[in-house]
Every structure is written in C-alpha cells, then in structure tokens.
Amino acid sequence: MKQRIVTGVLAGAGFLAVLAVGGFAFHTLVLVMAIVGFDELVRMSSTRRSEWPAVAGYMGIVALVWPNRGGEFALPGDAANWLWLIMLLIMAGMVFGNNRTPIDRSAALLFGVLYIGAGFHYMAFSRWAENGFLMSLLIFACIWLTDAGAYFVGSRIGKRKLIPKISPNKTVEGAVGGLILSVLAATAFAFLAPGTVDPRWAPLLGAVIGILSQVGDLIQSAYKRHYGVKDSGRILPGHGGVLDRCDSWLIVFPFVWMFLERWL
C-alpha cells in the first residue's frame, strides 16, 4: 500500500505539472503514453512486436496522436481514411504473414488503435482547446472523484454487486457514490472556475463523466479478464500499466469533445 501511495503521488504530481505546461510538452507525453498503452495491448494479446499487424498498429497510434498545434489531426486528410488504411495494413499483414497473427488478434489490434488512439488524441486536443487547462482539469477531477467515491462508498456500504462477472468488487452503491461526487465536482468547477462549463449544464456533464468513467473502468476489467491478466502492465509499481490508469480517460475525453462540446 505504501508503494502504491508513493507511486500515485509522484506520478500524479508529475502528470499535473506537465498538464499545466501544456502545448507540445503535454502532447508529447500523451503520445508516449499512447504508444506504451498500445504496447501493453500487444503483449496482452500474445502478439510479438515484430509481427506486421502489430507494427501497423504502432503506426496507427502515432498517426492519430502525433503532436500538432491546436491538437488537430496531424496528417493531411481525414482521420477515418487513415484508420481504414491502418486496417488494410493490419489485414494484409495477417495474410502475408501466413496467418501468424490470426483474425481475432488482428481485430484486437485494430480495436486497440481506435480505442487507445482516439482516447489519447482527444486528451491532447482538450489541453489545446480554449481554456484547455481548466477544462482538462475539470474532466480529470470528475474521473478521479468518481473512482474515489466508488471505492470508498462501495467498501463501506456496498452490498449489491454491479457486474460481478466482469468486476466482482464493484457495487451499485459505490457506482452511485462515484456518480454523485462527479456531479458535485463539475458543479463546483462551474462556479469556482467560470468559463469552464455553463452552471446550468454542469450537473449533466458531471453525470455523463461519472457514468462513462465507470463504463471505461469496466471495459478495461472485461478485456483483462478475457486475457487472464491482473494488470495491463507494470510501468507504475502498485498501479499496473498505462491502460490500468487511463481506462476511464480513454472513454470520457472523446465523448465529451465529440458529443457534449457543442451543447456545453
């Protein structure tokens, strides 16, 4: 537990410091995290890094998250077209590699490019946006307080299991506790940091983040259970890998910026 706390404090402080700096410093950190996260998925799927579908996947991650001023997609053209090209390369690698990377693992790699690449892309985009530091901080605060609320409420009064076959320790009571804290955090930001979100819409934003944050956590639990691993990696002692720490981020950031930005 001591190691977990020390690692969490140091890693969190370092991450927040780079977030405050923003610009290419933060975007580069996000790119590194995206590559490490995809590498964790490659290893979990028992795919060798040298196999062409994996190589094509790394290329896809770099293409989606490569630093670009303003956080926009760095390569010319539409990101969807590049994703299709990455799919073609992965599938071609499956064929010309004599099915050494079969269809199920190839599909998992393509899934990883979209899931991890889009998630980290929108995380970087959030920081580049107008008032990006405070908006990013708001989203992270809601995610972290959702996690904290779910843990503490669930461990104290949790009785009804949420989805026991996926995550046996999560409870309905914990999920509600995390959701409430997320709503309170977003509402507090609306009044303490004007310009981040309209106070009328802050509770909705907090609720959406609180729900999706827990969905992201459960998604990570689902595919770790599928692969039979406890943690996605070991880069953070006591905390696991990048995907273990960023599971909620990868779902929340794209949704907030793709669907809620125009209303909030």
Q: What mean pLDDT do residues 61-84 have? A: 91
pLDDT at 133 over 70: yes
Range picked from 78-82, 141-145, 232-236, 240-244 for highest mean pLDDT: 141-145
Token digits of residue 138: 């708001």
Amino acid code (one letter) for 95: V
Q: H or E segment at 173?
A: helix 172-192
pTM above 0.75, yes or no: yes
pLDDT at 3: 61
Close Cβ partners of 230 (under 8 Å, ≥ 6 residues apart): 224, 240
Residue 75: pLDDT over 60: yes
Instruction: State how far the Cα of 126 lies from the Cα of 120, in Å rounded to an integer.
Output: 10
DSSP 86: H
In this structure, the number of other CB atoms found within 10 A of the CB of residue 37 comes to 28
State the pLDDT at residue 59: 95
Chain CA centroid to CA 58, Å: 17
The confidence band for 264, taking pLDDT boundaries of 50, 70 and 90, is low
**Mean pLDDT confidence for 207-215:** 96
Determine the angle formed by the axes of helices 132-157 and 172-192, rounding to 10 degrees: 150
Name the residue type at position 215: V
Q: What is the C-alpha to C-alpha distance for residues 116 and 109, in angstroms, rounded to an integer?
A: 10
pLDDT in tens, 161-203: 999 888 888 999 999 999 999 999 999 999 998 888 889 999 9
